[in-house]
Structure 1
Amino acid sequence: PRFNFKNLNESGNLLFWSVALTAFYGLAWLEELLPNHKLDGSK
């Protein structure tokens, strides 16, 4: 079949957002586990 750049672009965007959201929530989850919140200066 003919190579479809539009499908590749949509798949790439989906993969990018999946990784980005996973990393974002993963970091937030790790910060909840850490005893000392280095990024939170109010506590």
Structure 2
Amino acid sequence: MTVIYRLIAAPFYHKGKLAGYLGADNFEFSDLVNTRIILEMTSKLLE
């Protein structure tokens, strides 16, 4: 069983409708800002 200590997710949309979430878990806390930016940029590219 894997224990999740940290979880972050960004929504992604298809044709203006919520299609799902892209997330990361157990990332290094010091990388929080970079992880958030990568998730947000990736979710924008998937639109």
Q: With structure 1 as the length reference, what TM-score do the two structures score?
A: 0.40
Which structure features the higher share of helix residues? 1
Q: Flag the structure with larger Rg.
A: 1
